[in-house]
Structure 1
Amino acid sequence: MAQKYRIYINQKVILLTESTPARVELYEQLDQQSFELKSFFSKVSGSSSPLYYYILCDDAKAVLKKIIKSNVLIEAAGGLVKNSKGDYLFIYRNEKWDLPKGKLEKGEKPKEGAVREVEEECGIRIGDCGKKIINTYHVYTLKGEVVLKKTYWYKMKYKGKAKLKPQTEEGITDVQWFDKGRIATVTGNTFPSIVDVLWKRDLLTEIPVPLSE
């Protein structure tokens, strides 16, 4: 199977792919040899340029590794938590719905960091952390420098009944459980990388263009 990876810049996506996108008319192709993430970020960030881009390559994983190696990488981890009722846990931060996550501490393993961040941001104790769902990638600026964040996402279970407590010092103003019927509320006001996670867990009724490729 052809490998594909997505790197997000706000609402825009760069698709690293070993095959031409099925809906190629929606995409602008980028040249693999001349592509440079920092300059591309400066070009499209905050602009009205197209939403979808793709880089056609023989080895998508190798291209991703090259991009990671040539940029500042920040590693983070988080979780998609499901309770005994089948509801999913979301936080509200910076006027958007999000999943609990945060940067890994020095020497911390991704799974350990994911559990710690969920517990700190939501005020609960995770009973079980399962397999990894997906890794997501997005680009932003930190102290004036362009950085690439890699986030490891894990399946988690919670069986308790503790009152949710948002970590306000991290800018989280609300924490809520959502049943599957309310997931559309989240996808209507969240980040593309979060949609990636939900799609991997079959929680979307409609699949956005970059995920359908």
Structure 2
Amino acid sequence: MLIKIFVDDKPIYLTNKLTDELKTLSEKKSVKVIKNVATIDGLSYYDDIKNNTTTAIIIIADDVPQLQQQFFKAFTTIEAAGGIVLNESKEVLFIYRRNKWDLPKGKVESGESLTIAAAREVEEETGVKNLQLKRKIGETYHIYEERNQTIVKISHWYYFTTTSHQKTTPQTEEDISEVKWIATKNIKQPMANTYKNIKEIMSVFFDTP
């Protein structure tokens, strides 16, 4: 089991074993490997990777869910949900916000299901409607600071389809300046200017049958 948490574009890995990729990564001097520690202080690892030359941290434990629980308890947790939306023309729905390409997502409201939240956020941020839920793609994790809080955001991602040629409307009050359908064959364009967690979930999406 492997959980990847981003601090800006730097990853913290929670895992029960070293994959070939992690073995290669662990050989770099700027990468720290932590094995079988008795207690986990998530904030200390966050501060390390945020403020020092550490480029990645790999924490290994037999029980990854328990490791995750211990790691996350140091932070305020926010649940978010969003969508990878594909239309009939094989185009993916992207938003442009704060000089980066992104996928529509937002905070889950109290009492709201994850799937309802994902569909609502897509519609609110882009104006695209008639969404047909297909399946869940996965989760991404990132840590950031806001209003004197250090937050770990868990974003739940769902695959939706919809009809082509819908009018799009960017939610400008959420700093979205553009909504754009981008053909899957041109997907490298937004991926060259996006966040690591978006690259992560898009790679999962395209690798899933």
Q: What TM-score does the superposition give when structure 2 sets the normalisation length?
A: 0.89
SS at match of 1:30: strand
Is the aligned partner of 1:140 residue 2:144?
yes
1:128 to 128, 132, 146: 132
> What is residue 110 of structure 1 aligned with on the other side?
114
> What is residue 10 of structure 2 aligned with on the other side?
12
> What is residue 33 of structure 1 aligned with on the other side?
38
The aligned amino acid for 2:88 is S
Q: What's the offset of the Cα at 1:179?
A: 1.2
* Stretches (4+) displaced over 4 A: none
Structure 2 runs not aligned, ≥5 long: none
CA distance in 1, matches of 2:143, 2:81: 15
SS at match of 1:161: coil
1:174 to 175, 178, 191: 178
Q: What's the offset of the Cα at 1:182?
A: 1.8
CA distance in 1, matches of 2:58, 2:98: 29
Structure 1 runs not aligned, ≥5 long: 204-213
Q: What's the offset of the Cα at 1:162?
A: 1.7
Q: What's the offset of the Cα at 1:67?
A: 2.1
The aligned amino acid for 2:23 is A
CA RMSD in angstroms, aligned pairs only? 1.6
Q: What's the offset of the Cα at 1:135?
A: 1.0
Is the aligned partner of 1:69 residue 2:69?
no
Q: 1:59-109, CA deviations, whole angstroms, 9 ceiling, x for partnerless residues? A: 112211222334211000000000001110110111111000000111111
In the superposition, relative to structure 1, how do residues 51 and 19 fare at CA in structure 2: closer, same or farther (>3 Å)?
same
Contact map agreement 1:115 1:126 (CA 8 A) in 2: no
Contact map agreement 1:126 1:156 (CA 8 A) in 2: no
Q: What TM-score does the superposition give when structure 1 sets the normalisation length?
A: 0.88
The aligned amino acid for 1:22 is K
Is the aligned partner of 1:187 residue 2:191?
yes
Contact map agreement 1:75 1:104 (CA 8 A) in 2: yes
SS at match of 1:33: coil
> What is residue 211 of structure 1 aligned with on the other side?
none
Among all aligned residue pairs of Structure 1 and Structure 2, give the percentage whose two residues are the same amino acid.
Answer: 32
The aligned amino acid for 1:28 is K
Contact map agreement 1:16 1:60 (CA 8 A) in 2: yes
SS at match of 1:125: coil
CA distance in 2, matches of 1:202, 1:160: 20
Aligned residues: 200
Q: What's the offset of the Cα at 1:34?
A: 4.9
SS at match of 1:197: helix
Contact map agreement 1:12 1:52 (CA 8 A) in 2: yes
1:93 to 79, 89, 97: 97
